Amino acid sequence: MQPPTASPISGNRLPGRLAIISGVFGIAAFACLVVFLVMRPSDPQTSHILLRSHDAGVIVQSLCLMPFALALGAIARQQSHETGRVMGIAAVTSLTLVVILMVLSFVNIVADVLYMIPQGAVGGWLIAVCRQHANGLPKGLRILGIVAGVGLLLISVFPIGYALFVDPAILYGPISDHVPAPPGTRKANGIIHLVLAIGTLIGCSMYPLWSALAGRWFLMRGDR
């Protein structure tokens, strides 16, 4: 009788390492955003550096999470769950759109909040994958991931709600912060920004934390 051999998934530690790196860059991006929102630097150059550092962090965060999303799907398929493949592809597609829209916002082709829409799709994937027991995620990570996913979904409400109830111009290109909202939209604008603030606090803090902890779990799983 031959001794059991490790599966290719458990033997490949790269997705776990990249998930941890994704979490580190996500936390750094969130820190840049918090510093910008709290300090509101009067120097435009400082504000630009903080916001672009946040954007760059989100890009790296998204790129590094792709292999881990595929790895979770592969684990689920080992338990005869074909939905694992679909969920992995959906996650990579959503993360790719986040990266593309972020890059386009760098060169002022699209508004710098449009990436929040596919980021909401990432949140939906996160909720779904944390409700899927076939991938073996522990209960604590499932709860953390579901909460983080809800936060990302709330964030995605902002560009859609802003376009519907404040100014649809946000869908067509960058909008200057110095341009006031259209008359009669102050209340809707305030509500939408409140939802964004709640989603950002929950999603942008817990999402990278989940990624780092899930990556660590993946590495420990491979050691068993």
pLDDT in tens, 92-136: 999 999 999 999 998 888 998 999 999 999 999 999 999 988 788
Which pLDDT does position 2 carry in this prediction?
Answer: 41
Q: What are the tens digits of pLDDT across the range 168-185?
A: 888 887 766 666 777 778
Which residues, 6+ apart, have CB-to-CB distance to 128 below 8 Å? 87
Return the half-sphere exposure (C-beta side, CA atoms, 13 A cut-off) of residue 58: 33
CB neighbour burial string for 4-29, b if at least 16 within 10 angstroms, e if fewer:
eeeeebbebeebbbbbbbbbbbbbbb
**Residue 23's closest CA among 128, 126, 111, 138?**
126
Which residues, 6+ apart, have CB-to-CB distance to 67 below 8 Å? 14, 15, 18, 19
Which pLDDT does position 117 carry in this prediction?
Answer: 96
Output the pTM of the full model.
Answer: 0.88
- The two tokens of residue 154 are 């709330």
Which residues, 6+ apart, have CB-to-CB distance to 132 below 8 Å? 76, 81, 83, 84, 87
Which pLDDT does position 48 carry in this prediction?
Answer: 86
Which pLDDT does position 177 carry in this prediction?
Answer: 64
Which pLDDT does position 150 carry in this prediction?
Answer: 98
Which pLDDT does position 176 carry in this prediction?
Answer: 66
Which residues, 6+ apart, have CB-to-CB distance to 46 below 8 Å? none
With beta carbons less than 8 A apart as the criterion, state whether 38 and 99 touch: no
Rounded CA-CA distance 107/130 in Å is 35
Per-residue pLDDT of the chain (224 residues; tens, 9 = 90+): 444 444 444 457 899 999 999 999 999 999 999 999 888 777 888 888 999 999 999 999 999 999 999 999 888 877 756 677 888 899 999 999 999 999 999 888 899 899 999 999 999 999 999 998 878 899 999 999 999 999 999 999 999 999 999 988 888 877 666 667 777 788 999 999 999 999 999 999 999 999 999 999 999 986 54
